[in-house]
DNA sequence: CTGAAAGCGCTTACAG
DNA sequence: CTGAAAGCGCTTACAG
């Protein structure tokens, strides 16, 4: 059985170690290893000796020492609510985008997992201590008062901020237009009795989708039916429970033609609840989501949804943040908010509205 | 329209700034802010003045300066192949685990996204420069020769390493037992004609699952049929394509009773291919996966699968790494490999084997 | 052109 | 008990 590596790892070599090994000063070693012009004065033979010593000692310029000098860690931070027990495709998409953007400019990315925006303020604060050059917040729900306490020496960018932070660029998408287009699409497929499982009241992301939903109904003279609007949370399980509860409470009532969910996870949850009542998607009921996360392609049938360019939004956030930090000289910091376009993506979960009215089955099949 | 924050952020306050503002030396400020015993000598009034100055200036001890002193960044790294266009629930689960473990011990986590283990060696190398105290690699496929070039001054832990790195703890799970238990479960449900969509040949994760599959067949005197073993890749789309191709090439042949896929994503892909041929899961064909990632609950029907405790494995990796670094004094570094238990999780995608033999439908319905 | 020194921000060990 | 100094590892600006 292989023995584990000894706990005490050897110390990393310093410039002084390299110099000593090569019989030169630390400074000479530094000059050679950074290929400074002045190193042209150093003989080729010495240069080789230094390079060999550095390779042999696995020398790497110490990041902390460099950061101290340059006041820059070449690292950006991400703060997000991250619960290890929940599906979070939204996070995964944004994260991939930020990572791609940061990596492209040779910057590292550190992730801070929060449980709660209000209570974890101090944790975020404490992290603005030079270990990151700037911070991107995913869907923060700070209120304005708390936001004021954020450190002034660290630049921020937010994505989908619930209340914009003063002096901070917020990146969002045209959610109302997206919801409106989605419901227009349902109506074009013949659906009239359209249910909406919304996000929590008071969250702009939820409210804007409701607004788009109602706008589309209005445009087609479909009377808004409060019984068809249910508020839930942006989490798979809550979509399931909202749909399940609704079906139980509305047994014998007319079945909706289509269910528009405020995000993909909720739509998948709703599909599961429908399946448990023996209802097929899209033959009996059409279902659609919002976001176009990877979840929308992982479901069977694949989900018709509104695409928000999440990866792109993450990448853009990284770019804007790096511009603010000053790492990217040639990128202009845009005015806030930056609004990204959305589009309806047709997949398999929405069909033509079936002929004849159906009724919510009385008993769940389970 | 709100104006964006000015690109030039103000400099962070230093201990000297705090001292100056409070009319004391930087050292006195340091003593108070670190609540060193000696600070008891400092008058309560002075203490308050220092605390106020620090708060007002939003002072935070500079992380780089501290790291330079302590030779510790309080940050661990994660290296993983991460393609922004692919589903990666496996990463998400491990990542959540590492993050939870690191956060619990007040350590930060930096993620390095790689494209390729062989070609990105230099990138990984360059990152072992003090910006992380240790590194966790997700499913690395280094060969032994390359592994030798890894820096000696940084501790590593691997999860699912394809070839164990010398002197490095590897965390894995009992994949062969898991595959065996899954196929035993299928056989218990009456399935005999069991297809396996495997991972790429030569990868231990794939080979061990194939071994478990064949072992279960053997135990029940089911003759191994090479036509029912297909090698593919650990990616959703490849599962889809493998199933699709197999159905096309085997039109008119007996339909498998069940399809055991080497991971959850592949199983979902296979379900989509089956759906396109008009075959229902589990009524016509049972399907199962491996991993128990969040994907297995996001599909309709939910996936029967083999659970690997991925979150727990990530958490354990963090803990072992911190023990090696020396951050955790009271945790023993275990011998390698650490093998985690697996279990079959029954959900909805596996049913009893239907009576009567069916045949692969000739034409895809699409 | 080269090498010694200063300094990034912090803390620890050591004189006064 | 207090305050000045040394040093973590590096690079830049400045004497020689």
For residue A3, list chain B residues with Cβ-Cβ distance below 8 A: 167, 335
Q: Which residues pair with A75 in a beta bridge?
A: A108
Measuring from the CA of residue A18 to each C1' atom, give the nucleotide at the shortest distance.
Answer: D9
pLDDT digits (tens, 9 = 90+) for A117-138: 988 888 888 899 999 999 999 9
What are the chain A neighbours of B236 within 8 Å (beta carbons)?
297-298
Q: Over the stretch B129-163, which tens digit does the pLDDT of each residue have? A: 999 999 999 999 987 777 788 899 999 999 999 99
Nearest-nucleotide field for B26 (CA, C1'):
C10
| Per-residue pLDDT at B301 exceeds 50 | yes
Residue A36 pLDDT grade (very low, low, confident, very high; cuts 50, 70, 90): low
Query: Mutation test of the interface with chain A: which of B14, B62, B63, B303, choosing the one with the most A Cβ atoms within 10 A?
Result: B63
Q: What is the rounded average pLDDT of the residues A193-221?
A: 97
pLDDT for res B143: 78
pLDDT at A88: 85
A333 vs B7, B295, B335: nearest CB = B7
d(CA A154, CA B58): 11
* Region B87-115 average pLDDT: 93
* Å between CA of B29 and C1' of C13: 18
pLDDT digits (tens, 9 = 90+) for A175-189: 999 999 999 999 999
Record: contact A301-B275, CB cut-off 8 A: yes
Instruction: Give me the pLDDT at residue A2, please.
Output: 41
B38-91 residue pLDDT tens: 555 678 888 888 999 999 999 999 999 999 999 999 999 999 998 877 768 899
Portion 15-54 of A in contact with B at CB < 8 A: none
Judge whether A355 is closer than 8 Å to chain B, CB to CB. Answer: no
A346-360, B21-35, B76-90: which has the highest mean pLDDT?
A346-360
Query: Residue A121 is encoded by which pair of tokens?
Result: 């303020």
Please tell me the distance from the alpha carbon of residue A164 to that of residue B2, in angstroms, as a whole number.
10
User: Does A188 contact strand D, using a CB cutoff of 7 Å?
Assistant: no
Supply the pLDDT for residue A3: 40
The matching CATH number, chosen from 1.10.260, 1.20.120, 1.10.10, 3.30.60, for B15-61 is 1.10.260
Residues in A 218-237 with any Cβ partner in B closer than 8 A? 236
pLDDT at residue A6 in the model: 41
Nearest CA to B229 out of B218, B242, B244 is that of: B242
Burial of A283 (0-12, 13-18, 19+ CB in 10 A): exposed
Share of chain A above pLDDT 90, in %: 73
**A14 in reach of chain B (CB within 8 A):** no
Position B80 scores a pLDDT of: 95
Between positions 55 and 74 of A, the ones with CB within 8 A of B are 58, 60-65, 67-68, 71, 73
Give A187 or A362, the one with higher predicted confidence: A187
Q: Which of B2, B147, B238, B324 to mutate to test the interface with A (most CBs of A within 10 A)?
A: B2
Domain B73-172+310-340 in this protein, CATH class: alpha beta
Sequence-distant (≥ 6) Cβ neighbours of residue B170 within 8 angstroms = B157, B158, B159, B160, B161, B164, B336, B337, B338
User: What is d(CA B204, CA B202) in angstroms, rounded to the nearest whole number?
Assistant: 6
Fold of domain A175-307 = Rossmann fold (3.40.50)
- Interatomic separation, CA of residue A1 and C1' of nucleotide D2, rounded (Å): 56
Domain locations along chain A: 15-61, 74-172+310-340, 175-307
Angle at B284 between CA B281 and CA B290, to 5 degrees: 45
| Residue-level pLDDT at A299 | 85
For the cut 80, the answer to whether the pLDDT of residue A9 exceeds it is no
- pLDDT higher than threshold 80 for residue A5: no
Residue in A134, A141, A142 with CA at minimum distance from that of residue A78: A134
State yes or no: pLDDT of B2 exceeds 80: no
Average pLDDT over chain B reads 91
Task: Identify which of A201-215, B17-31, B43-57, B82-96 has the greatest average pLDDT.
Answer: A201-215
Q: What is the pLDDT of residue B345?
A: 98
Both tokens assigned to B14: 């230093």
Does domain A74-172+310-340 fall under CATH 3.30.70.360? My reply is no
Q: What distance in Å separates the CA atoms of residue B227 and residue B254, rounded to the nearest whole number?
A: 11
Please report which residue ranges of chain A form alpha helices under DSSP H. 15-22, 26-33, 44-56, 63-70, 89-104, 121-127, 144-148, 175-188, 204-219, 236-249, 264-276, 295-298, 310-325
Same fold, A74-172+310-340 and A175-307: yes
Structure token pair of residue A247: 């079906």
Q: What pLDDT, on the 0 to 100 scale, is given for residue A8?
A: 47
Whether the pLDDT of residue A366 is over 80: the answer is no
Over residues B314-335, the pLDDT tens digits come to 999 999 999 999 999 889 999 9
Q: Which residues contact B208 (CB under 8 A, 6 or more apart)?
A: B175, B176, B179
What are the tens digits of pLDDT across the range B109-124?
A: 999 999 889 888 888 8
Nucleotides of C under 7 A from a protein CB: 1-5, 7-13
CB nearest B60 (choices: A128, A275, A299) = A128
Tell me, what's the pLDDT at B246? Answer: 98
pLDDT of A28 strictly over 90: no
- Assign A364 a pLDDT band (cuts: 50, 70, 90): very low
- Range in A13-17, A191-195, A261-265 with the lowest mean pLDDT: A13-17
Rounded to the nearest integer, the mean pLDDT of chain A is: 91
A355 touches strand C (CB under 7 A): no
């Amino acid at each position: 059985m292989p023995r584990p590596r000894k706990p005490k790892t050897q110390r990393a070599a310093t410039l002084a170690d390299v110099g000593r090994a090569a019989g030169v000063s630390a400074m000479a070693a530094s000059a050679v290893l950074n290929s400074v012009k002045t190193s042209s004065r150093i003989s080729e033979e010495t240069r080789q000796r230094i390079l060999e010593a550095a390779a042999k000692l696995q020398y790497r310029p110490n990041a902390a020492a460099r950061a101290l000098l340059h006041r820059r860690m070449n690292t950006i931070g991400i703060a997000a609510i991250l619960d290890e027990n929940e599906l979070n495709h939204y996070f995964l998409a944004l994260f991939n985008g930020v990572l791609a953007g940061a990596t492209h400019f040779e910057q590292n990315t550190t992730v801070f997992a929060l449980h709660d925006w209000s209570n974890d303020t101090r944790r975020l604060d404490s992290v603005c201590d030079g270990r990151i050059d700037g911070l991107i917040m995913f869907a923060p729900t700070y209120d304005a008062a708390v936001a004021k306490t954020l450190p002034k020496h660290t630049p921020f960018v937010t994505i989908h901020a619930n209340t914009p932070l003063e002096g901070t660029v917020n990146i969002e998408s045209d959610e109302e237009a997206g919801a409106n287009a989605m419901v227009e699409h349902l109506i074009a497929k013949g659906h009239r009795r359209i249910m909406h499982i919304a996000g929590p009241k008071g969250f702009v992301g939820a409210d804007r989708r409701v607004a788009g939903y109602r706008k589309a109904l209005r445009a087609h003279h479909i009377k808004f039916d409060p019984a068809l609007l249910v508020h839930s949370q942006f989490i798979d399980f809550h979509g399931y429970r909202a749909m399940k509860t609704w079906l139980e409470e509305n047994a014998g009532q007319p079945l909706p033609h289509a269910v528009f969910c405020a995000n993909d996870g909720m739509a998948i949850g709703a599909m599961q609840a429908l399946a448990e009542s023996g209802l097929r998607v899209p033959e009996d009921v059409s279902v659609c989501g919002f976001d176009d996360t990877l979840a929308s392609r992982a479901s069977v049938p694949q989900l018709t949804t509104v695409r928000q360019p999440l990866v792109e939004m993450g990448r853009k956030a990284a770019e804007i943040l790096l511009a603010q930090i000053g790492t990217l000289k040639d990128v202009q910091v845009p005015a806030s908010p930056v609004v990204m376009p959305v589009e309806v993506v047709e997949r398999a979960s929405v069909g033509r509205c079936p002929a004849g009215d159906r009724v919510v089955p009385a008993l769940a099949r389970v």
